[in-house]
Chain A
Amino acid sequence: MIGFSVNGKRVDLDVDPSTPLLWVIREQLGLTGTKYGCGMAQCGACTIHINGEAARSCVAPVSRAAGTSVTTIEGLSPDLSNPLQRAWLEEDVPQCGYCQSGQLMSAAVLLRDKPRPTDEDIDDAMTGNICRCGTYPRIRRAIHRAAEIAAKGDAR
């Protein structure tokens, strides 16, 4: 049995410990917001947080999650109140939308570490997340916007 928490809920699973966390999250836990894109940590569609740090769940064996706290897109904020989600709405970012869970999860770690990121910071943090629709210009604007929204929120 491998035990960890997912979006604040404790789970204990009887699963092959070498199975990538991605497939456990999607198939055993039914949280399909985290996407499969490459299976080799190249595209970032599977990005989640393990103990608050961005991880590519397609190459992380489920054993790595044991005893940790995992957050998926479903746990970012179900009511879209997270500043990133609000900014993504304002900038109308997604096209097909398939990569956006991963984009948001990477951006969340960036904003936690750098509340007012520069364009270079955005390049550094977001380069692991591919978008084939080409939403990069809007993602960049939305991250800056989310930083503003979060700053205003803090001031209140």
Chain B
Amino acid sequence: MIRRRAAEGITGKGMQRRDFLRASVAASGGLLIGFHFPRLSQLASAQSSANVFMPNAFVRIGTDERVTVIVNHSEMGQGVYTSLPMLLADELDADWTKVGFEPAPVDPKYNHPAFGMQITGGSSSVWSGLEQFRQAGAAARAMLVAAAAQQWNVDSSTCRTESGAVLSGSNRKLTYGQLVGGAAKLTPPEHVQLKDPKTFKLIGKPIKRLDTPEKLNGKAVFGIDVKLPGMLTAVVARPPIFGAKMKSFDDSRAGAMPGVRKIVAISAGVTVIADTFWQAKMAREALRIEWDEGRMQTFSTTQMMRDFRERAKSPGTSVRKDGDPAAALANAAKKVEAVYEVPYLSHLMMEPLNCVVDLRAGSCEVWTGSQFQTVDRANAAKVAGLPNEKVQLHTTFLGGGFGRRANPQSDFVVEAVQVAKAAGAPVKVIWTREDDMAGGWYRPAFLHAIEGGIDASGNAVSWRSRLVGQSIMAGTPFAAVMLKGKDYDPASVEGVDDLPYAIPNVAVESHQAEINVPVQWLRSVGHSHTAFAVECFVDELAALAGKDPYQFRRAMLEKQPRHLGVLDLAAQKAGWDKPLPKGMGRGIAVHFAFGSYSAHVAEVSVTDGRVRIHRMVCAIDCGRYVNPGIIAAQTEGGAIFGASAALFQELTFENGRLQQTNFHTFPAMRMNECPEIETQIVESNEKSGGIGEPGVPCAAPAIANAIFAVTGKRIRRLPIRMTEAV
């Protein structure tokens, strides 16, 4: 039954990425595969004692009444150190003021129930943890009740629980702390009764985050803050061009600089190990390295996009085909075609990459903000030449992740273990912002060539999308398994392959570009570009039909109630029918991603070519929800993340070299540019979807469509530049 519930949590197109993640485990070494909830008894731990009650891997209760929830997902801002403990604490009837959290160690017990390994991604933490954390809390509660009943010599059914205590009758009360010793002796139950949702005390409420206090006084420990006795600090000089190889280096000046301990060639480049960061960085600047620049030395993104455009002229691999789009287009009353382009993007986490390693004979400890513990530990073990069990990976707070810290090759961890081998002492590798930006693993650049047609009544009758871009999976250890039987990458086309509109003739075709720029998932992955292209093109069709863009969408979504729900809610709250002041325009977009439905309305003005977003109204339907406060924060943050990319962000290469280096050339939205944002959450009894990513995709198309509304010009390339509008 539990297994079935887990499987039901997977919905729609999100499945494809999750398929990959399950499949990938097989590729990376035969870990647990498939949906798997360990039985409660298997989660039992030997850690219970007279002072500690630890009935399963997810909770520990002390005689001091503290309830510590062990969380198997990484906290990168999305609130899992609060939402997952809420699930457990509600079933436990814990006193919330006594509840804390602790990051889980790496252990199969803590594998993602759907993905079969320890990972934080795919906007999946809450839906995948729903049953797991509730079960764990309910099991602990049942044992505490049994311990109290035993002590009072009454039947368990006469007992009730409230705020961290078991009660019976009118005068019997034992706190959980008082029951630790008794409960620790009991065997965990095989089956537990979960609460009726009507009796939830925490779930569904905007509970304040547990990790806020330590983030306001400097106490929260991120990877970059870890300090070990005798620790050295290292930086790495990496190739200036992807694929370049180090030929030789001259460290005669660098090696003599103060604080420098070692300068060593490693596979990633040359590492400078020193007493302090600044000493290492200064010495790196004094290094002279000769590189064999390799075949990427002529690489140019301008040329690449020209090639993409050319390639889109021929048919690609068929991803979806309904009806006969070519014939329908030929017979259409009116036609339009458009080419949309999006650039490579850096994740740009506020905390640049870093990793601390303490490598000893026979053991290795790693501290880092990881989103991918199972793979990171296995890769660290491989470099260290140790079995997995001899490597401990400690997950710190992540100063943003956005997918970058779930690297299939564990690039920043592998490199740090190599540095530790060279250092012969505990070492922290710090990436500068410039290192982080030039380090690759970007959101791939994409081109969408779309053509569509409407009939004489203005109904869309034909749609063909051709995509050109790099596969995220290709070239990773997971490619063989994931792409087997498919000659396109599902993560490239997610969000257009499931085009929800009632259009009778649809084709989606994919061209996979082979370029030696490492690419990776970035917050909302394929949806980060497919929603832009699809929702802008729907707007173009509406204009062609002379129809209101909101009503045009409505008419094509009659059989998609949840799309319609968020679309209507966003339009209504934004006052779609109310006129705006002169010089302002409104745009709308709707999209499904990661099990959730989202719609945005943006209000913008354009003055002297400068786009200003004044207001965004975001509607989100993520099914049954856990913490509406966190959902609002994620939705706002997602909109800002998407708007940042839409307005400002582009990585370009010339002569193989990245042209952007830091926030001044790859900007992020700032306070003075941030619009007023309003989030509306749909009340729903549908199964829970994700929340970390679904807020991102609609931002760019809603803004671009609003620009059309006020200027009559179309934005077909991101980042938005009014000089390029057509």
Contact = CB atoms under 8 A, between A and B. Distances in A.
Indicate whether A and B interact: yes
A124 B672 CA distance: 7
Interface in A63-105: 72-74, 76-78, 80, 85, 88-89, 92-101, 104
Contacts of B397: 96-98
Contact of A97 (B77, B402, B639, B671): B77
B208 A85 contact: no
Interface string A120-137: 001110111111111111
Nearest to A73: B218
> Which of A88, A136, A138, A139 has the most C-beta atoms of chain B within 10 angstroms of its own C-beta?
A136
Given A40-B662, A100-B215, A137-B676, A132 B668 contact: yes
Interface stretch (A15-23, A49-57, A147-155): A15-23
Contact of B212 (A27, A33, A74, A89): A89
A30 interface: yes
Interface stretch (B345-353, B501-509, B542-550): B345-353
Interface stretch (B194-202, B219-227, B326-334, B572-580): B219-227
A150 to B, nearest CB: 16
A51 B212 CA distance: 28
B677 interface: yes
B664 interface: yes
B217 A45 contact: no
Contacts of A130: 350, 663, 668, 670
Contact of B278 (A23, A122, A140): A23
The interface residues of chain A, by DSSP majority, are classed as: loop
Contacts of B434: 39
A36 interface: yes
A11 interface: no
A32 B348 contact: no
Interface in B54-81: 75-79
Interface stretch (B31-39, B141-149, B154-162, B630-638): B630-638
Interface in A21-52: 23, 26-28, 30-40, 42-43, 45
B216 interface: yes
B209 interface: yes
A101 B211 CA distance: 14
B276 A132 contact: no
Nearest to B277: A23
A80 B671 contact: no
Contacts, number: 177
Interface in B534-563: none
Interface residues of B, number: 64
A140 B225 CA distance: 28
A80 B278 contact: no
A37 B77 CA distance: 16
Nearest to B350: A98
Contact of A37 (B216, B351, B430, B644): B351
Given A39-B433, A96-B350, A77 B209 contact: no
Contacts of A101: 218
B570 interface: no
Contact of B276 (A23, A36, A89, A99): A23
A145 to B, nearest CB: 14
B368 to A, nearest CB: 14
A31 to B, nearest CB: 7
Contact of B216 (A43, A45, A104, A134): A104
Contacts of A38: 433, 662-663
A131 B399 CA distance: 10
Contacts of A77: 217
A136 B639 CA distance: 12
Contact of B218 (A20, A72, A99, A123): A72
B481 to A, nearest CB: 32
A43 B51 CA distance: 46
A94 B216 contact: yes
A131 B215 CA distance: 14
Interface string B179-216: 00000000000000000000000000010110111011
12 contacts: A23-B277, A32-B218, A33-B219, A37-B433, A76-B217, A80-B217, A92-B633, A96-B350, A98-B397, A128-B670, A132-B641, A134-B639
Given A19-B276, A35-B222, A97-B211, 11 more contacts: A23-B278, A38-B433, A39-B434, A42-B662, A73-B218, A92-B209, A132-B402, A133-B350, A134-B639, A136-B669, A138-B633
5 smallest CB-CB distances across A and B, nearest first, come from: A33-B218, A134-B640, A98-B399, A95-B77, A97-B215
Interface of B: 75-79, 206, 208-209, 211-213, 215-222, 224-225, 227, 233, 258, 276-279, 348-352, 397-402, 430, 432-434, 629, 633-634, 636-641, 644, 662-664, 668-672, 674, 676-677
